[in-house]
């Protein structure tokens, strides 16, 4: 994808979480990103699963960790290859990866590009107004889980306008009226946004105020696997 978009050192790539847990190269990807100053990571639920399992590992016996809810939940969500790769790292590399993930952004609510305003997050916005980027380490708890886990909009595809009006009207009024929330987490094929070959395509909804860019790169079938990229300068879409 980076080759296809001719990504340059003077540009910025925003990654909306879920870097790992869908194959054998998650740790290598984290190592690549933490050495790329113009690539910005936002916390996804898979990053949160990683951190929570790691914290349990640090404070438990080996048998206690293997039986822990944190470890079992991460395994059910594809974490075993990531953990295996992590275990092969040196202590210094492990510390660097954990620190990198823990320092990720939770939301970036005020990104302005080409005269447009964007709110970036993994799955959902914060329930309270923020006027600048928020780091994961500054929120945590229930609210952080809400941002990386909850499918507020995809779950209410046909009700999203009414749902939003009732629950978030005062919040929305604080942001520029043209703000578009860009998120991932839910593969767009679940929203019936696919091409003629059943590959996911970027989904636009919420009367133009919602964009889902998770095109199913983690699909278990090669036919359906697709990585989507949205260039904010001109809203052009790219797929691999």
Q: Which CATH superfamily is domain 6-103 in?
A: Metallo-dependent phosphatases (3.60.21.10)
For residue range 153-189, list pLDDT tens digits in order.
765 555 556 667 778 888 989 999 999 999 999 999 8
Indicate the DSSP class of residue 55.
H
Spans of the chain, pLDDT less than 70: 154-163, 220
Note the pLDDT of residue 23. Answer: 85
Note the pLDDT of residue 216. Answer: 87
Note the pLDDT of residue 42. Answer: 98
Supply 123's token pair.
């799955």
Note the pLDDT of residue 220. Answer: 66
Cβ(44)–Cβ(217) below 8 Å: no
**What end-to-end distance do the CA atoms of the chain give, in Å?**
6
Note the pLDDT of residue 156. Answer: 57
Angle at which helix 45-59 crosses helix 141-149, to 10 degrees, equals: 140
Residue-range domain boundaries for the chain: 6-103, 107-131+150-240
Own/partner contacts of 186-194, CB < 8 Å, gap of 24 or more, are 186/123, 186/151, 186/154, 186/212, 186/214, 187/214, 187/215, 187/216, 187/218, 187/219, 188/212, 188/213, 188/214, 188/215, 188/216, 188/228, 189/215, 189/216, 189/219, 189/224, 190/154, 191/154, 191/157
- Say what the pTM is: 0.94
Note the pLDDT of residue 155. Answer: 57
Angstrom distance (rounded) from CA 226 to CA 214? 9
Note the pLDDT of residue 161. Answer: 62
What percent helix, strand, coil does the chain show, rounded to 5? 40, 20, 45
């Amino acid at each position: 994808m980076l080759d296809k978009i001719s990504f340059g050192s003077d540009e910025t790539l925003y990654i909306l979480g879920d870097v790992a847990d869908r194959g054998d190269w998650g740790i290598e990807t984290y190592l690549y990103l933490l050495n790329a100053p113009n690539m910005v990571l936002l916390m996804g639920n898979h990053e949160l699963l990683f951190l929570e399992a790691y914290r349990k590992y640090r404070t438990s016996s080996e048998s206690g960790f293997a039986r822990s809810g944190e470890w079992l939940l991460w395994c059910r969500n594809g974490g075993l290859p990531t953990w295996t790769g992590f275990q092969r790292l040196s202590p210094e590399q492990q510390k660097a990866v954990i620190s990198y993930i823990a320092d990720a952004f939770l939301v970036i609510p005020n990104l302005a590009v080409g005269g447009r305003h964007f709110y970036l997050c993994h799955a959902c916005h914060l329930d309270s107004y923020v006027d600048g980027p928020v780091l994961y380490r500054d929120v945590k708890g229930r609210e952080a889980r809400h941002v990386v886990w909850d499918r507020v909009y995809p779950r209410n595809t046909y009700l999203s306008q009414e749902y939003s009006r009732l629950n978030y009207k005062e919040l929305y009024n604080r942001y520029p009226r043209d703000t578009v929330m860009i998120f991932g987490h839910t593969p767009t094929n679940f929203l019936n946004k696919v091409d003629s070959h059943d590959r996911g395509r970027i989904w636009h909804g919420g009367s133009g105020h919602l964009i889902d860019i998770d095109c199913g790169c983690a699909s278990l079938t090669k036919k359906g696997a697709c990585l989507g990229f949205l260039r904010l300068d001109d809203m052009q879409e790219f797929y691999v």
